[in-house]
Chains A and B, each alone.
Chain A
Amino acid sequence: MQQAQTAISGRLPDIDQRDLAWYVDKLLQFLVFIGGISAIILIIGIFTFVTIEGFGFLLEGFSFKEFFLSEWWEPTDEDEPTYGILALVAGTASVTGLAMIVAIPFSLGAAVYIGEFSTGKTREALKVMVELLAAIPSVVWGFIGLSIMNPLIIKLFDVPVGLNVLNAGIILGLMAAPIMTSIAEDALKAVPDRYREAAEALGATRWQVIYKTVLPAAKNGLLGAVLLGVGRGFGETMAVLMATGHAINIPGSVFDSVRALTATIAAELGETAVGSEHYQALFTIGIFLFLITFVINLTADLIVRGIRKS
C-alpha cells in the first residue's frame, strides 16, 4: 500500500524516453507479425499467380465440356490440340484410390498398435520410426517404384510393364501411411482414458474396448487422417511420375499404365512456351488441383480440429 503511494506521488523519470530495447521490441514484433501472416500471403499469392497464368485459357480456349469430359489430352496436336483431363483425373483417382486401400489398414493398424498396445520405449521408438518414414523424399519412393517394384510386378503377374496403377498405388500408399498413422494415433490419444476404463470395468476385453469404444469415439479424427492421405495422394508428383508409366489412359485394370494430373504439369511445363495455350492449360490444371487439395485438406483440418476442441 505504502509502496504504491510513493510510486504515484514520486516523479516518474524519463517517461517519454525510447531506448534501444523499445526499438528492438517493436522491430521484433513486426518481424514476428510478418512471419505469422506469411502463410496467408503465400497462399493468396500462389493462387493469384496460378490463376493469372491460367486465365487466358479459361477466358478463350476453355470449354468446360472438353476440359472435364474429354479423355484426349493432346496439347501438341498440329491441327487441333485438345485439352481433356478426364484420363488424367482417372489416373490420379485410380492411383489415389488404390493407395488408400493400401494405406488405411496399414496406418490404422500401426496407430492402434502404437496408441493402444505398445508402451514405454517401444512406443517412443516406433513413433520416431514413423516420423522418419514420413521424411523419406518422394523421389526415393519413385526410385523404389522404378527399380524394385517394376521388375517385381512384371515377374509376379507376368505382365509386359510394371509401371502402372498397381505400382504407383502401392508406392503412394506406403508414402501416405506414416503421416496418416501419426494423425490417427493423435486421434486415438484424444479419446479419454476413462472411456477405456469404463469399458474394461464392464467386462470388455482389450480388443472389444478398441473396436466398440475407442475407434467409434475417434472416428472423426480417423476420417481426418484418411482425408489428409487422400490430399497427399492428389498432390503427390514425383513418385507417381516415376511409377505410373506416364501413359494417358483410362485404366481398365490395375496393370494399366496411367498418367496423373500433377505429373502432367511437371513433365510438360518446361517444354511449353510461356503464355501459350498449352502453358495456360497446364496452369488451369494447377488451379483445379489447388482447389481440390485445398478443399480436402481444409475439411480434414476442420474435422481434426473439431475433435481437439470437444
Chain B
Amino acid sequence: MNMQASQATQEQQVPEMAIHTRDLSLWYGTFQALHNINLDIKAGRITSLIGPSGCGKSTFLRSVNRINERLGYVRIEGTIDVNNQNIYDEDVELVQVRKQVGMVFQRPNPLPASIRDNILYGHRLHNRDRKYSRAEEDDIVEDSLKQVLLWDKVKDILKRKATELSLEEQQKLCIARLLPVKPAVLLMDEPCSSLDPKGTAAVEELIWELRGKYSILIVTHNMAQARRASEECIFMLMGKVIEHADTAELFVTPKHKETADYIEGRYG
C-alpha cells in the first residue's frame, strides 16, 4: 500500500534520494561488517562505491535488496529507505523490495533457461494477477533487450539457452531482465570484473546509457572505471564510509587522507 503510494508520487516528481540510510550497522554472526553507515544516494545518478577488499562494499550493496538475509546469521540495525520507504519495516514485503531494487552480480548469473524466459522471469513473478499475451511478452522482451543494446545480436536466438551466450552478453542480459519490472534502483557488484576489456567497455557504456532512467549504485575495484563511469563516488574503509562526493571532486581533491592514499594506490 505504502509502496504504491510512494510509487505514484514518484512519477510526478522523482524523489531526491534513491537510497537513504541511517546508522546502518550489520553483523555476520558476531563480526561487525558495517559501522553506522549514513548515506544519501541521489536518484537518477550513477554512484560508485570503492574501497579496499573486505571493506564491506558488497555487504552494503547486498543489504539494500536484503539478499543478505539468505544467510541465516546476518543481523542489521538502523534503517535503509528506498524511495522514502524503510525497507526493513516489519510490514514491508521482501518481494516488493526486490521489485524496486534490482541486482547485477559479479559473475553473470543468467538462469538455465532460454533468453526469453530469463527476461520474463521477474516480470512473470511480479505480475501474477494478469495473464500477458504472447505479443505483449514479445514487446517486453524486445524493449528490455533494446535498452541493453543486445536486441540485434539475439533477436533470432531468443529460444537459445542464456547460459550459452558470451560472458559480456550474459551480463547485459542480467541487466536487461531487471528492467521489465521497472525498478527504481539498480545495484551492481563489480559487474565487469569477469569480463575482458572489450566486454568491460561495452557494459560500462551500457551503464552510462541507463543513467537518468535508474538510480545506479555500482561497486568497483577499478578506479579508472569509477572515475569515468560514475557521477558520484563513495569511499569505504573497514566497514565505514570515509568520503562521499562528486566523482570529479573526490578524485581530484579528496578531503580525507585515507581517500587520497587509496586512490593513489597505497592500499593495494
Q: Is there a chain B Cβ closer than 8 Å to A194's Cβ? A: yes
- Across the interface, which residues of B come within 8 angstroms of A205, CB to CB? 94-95
For chains A and B in complex, what number of residue pairs have CB atoms within 8 angstroms? Answer: 54
Pick from B45-53, B110-118, B225-233 the stretch touching chain A: B110-118
Q: Which of B65, B72, B111, B174 contacts A199 (CB 8 A)?
A: B111
Name the distance in Å between B212's Cβ and chain A's nearest Cβ.
23
* Distance in angstroms between the alpha carbons of A196 and B105 in the assembled complex: 12
Interface residue ranges of B61-108 to A (CB < 8 Å): 65, 67, 70, 72, 94-95, 98-99, 102-103, 105, 107
Residue of B whose beta carbon sits closest to that of A201: B103
Asked whether any CB of chain B lies closer than 8 Å to the CB of A160, the reply is: no
- Contact assessment for B125 and A198 in the assembled complex, using a CB-CB cutoff below 8 Å: no
Contacting residue for A197 out of B109, B121, B126, CB 8 A? B109
Is B199's CB within 8 Å of the partner chain A? Answer: no
Contact across chains for A198 and B109 when beta carbons are under 8 A apart: yes
Q: Of residues 188 to 202 in A, which have CB atoms within 8 Å of B's CB atoms?
A: 194-202
Q: Using C-beta atoms within 8 Å of the partner chain, give the interface range for chain B.
A: 20 to 34
Chain B contact residues, CB within 8 Å of chain A: 65, 67, 70, 72, 94-95, 98-99, 102-103, 105, 107, 109-113, 121-122, 125-126, 174, 177-178, 181
Per-residue 0/1 for A197-222: is the Cβ within 8 Å of any B Cβ (1 yes, 0 no)?
Answer: 11111111100100011001100000
Number of interface residues of A (CB under 8 A): 18
A253 sits at the interface (CB 8 A): no
A198 touches B98 (CB 8 A): no
Q: Is the CB of A202 within 8 A of B112?
A: no
Q: 18 other contacts beyond A195-B109, A204-B125, A213-B111, with CB at 8 A cut-off?
A: A119-B72, A194-B105, A194-B107, A195-B111, A197-B105, A198-B110, A198-B111, A198-B174, A199-B121, A200-B67, A201-B65, A201-B67, A202-B125, A202-B177, A202-B178, A203-B95, A203-B122, A213-B112
Q: What residues of chain A lie closer than 8 Å to B112, measured between beta carbons?
A: 195, 213, 216-217
A237-274 interface code vs B (CB 8 A; 1 in, 0 out): 00000000000000000000000000000000000000
From residue A227, how far is it (CB to closest CB) to chain B in Å?
A: 21
A213–B125 Cα distance when bound, in Å, is 12
Q: Binding site of A, secondary structure by majority: helix, strand, loop or mixed?
A: helix
Given A119-B72, A208-B125, A201 contacting B111 (CB threshold 8 A): no
Interface residues of A (CB under 8 A from B): 119, 194-205, 208, 212-213, 216-217
- Please give me the residue from chain A that is nearest to B125 by CB atom: A203
Q: List B contacts of A195 (CB < 8 A).
A: 109, 111-112
A-B contact pairs, 20 of them (CB 8 A): A195-B111, A197-B105, A197-B109, A198-B110, A199-B121, A200-B67, A200-B98, A201-B65, A201-B98, A201-B105, A202-B98, A202-B122, A202-B177, A203-B122, A203-B125, A203-B181, A205-B95, A213-B112, A216-B113, A217-B112
Q: In the complex, A213→B117 CA distance in Å? A: 11
Inter-chain CA distance A201–B100, complex, in Å, is: 11
- Within the complex, the shortest CB–CB distance from A305 to chain B, in Å, comes to 18
Minimum CB–CB distance from B215 to chain A (whole Å) comes to 17
User: Roughly how many angstroms separate A19 CA and B3 CA in the complex, as a whole number?
Assistant: 82
Q: Which residues of B contact A212 (CB under 8 A)?
A: 121
B102 touches A201 (CB 8 A): yes
Minimal beta-carbon separation of A174 from chain B (angstroms): 32
Measured between C-beta atoms, what is the minimum distance from B172 to chain A in Å? 15
Point out the residues of chain A lying under 8 angstroms from B109, CB to CB. 194-195, 197-198
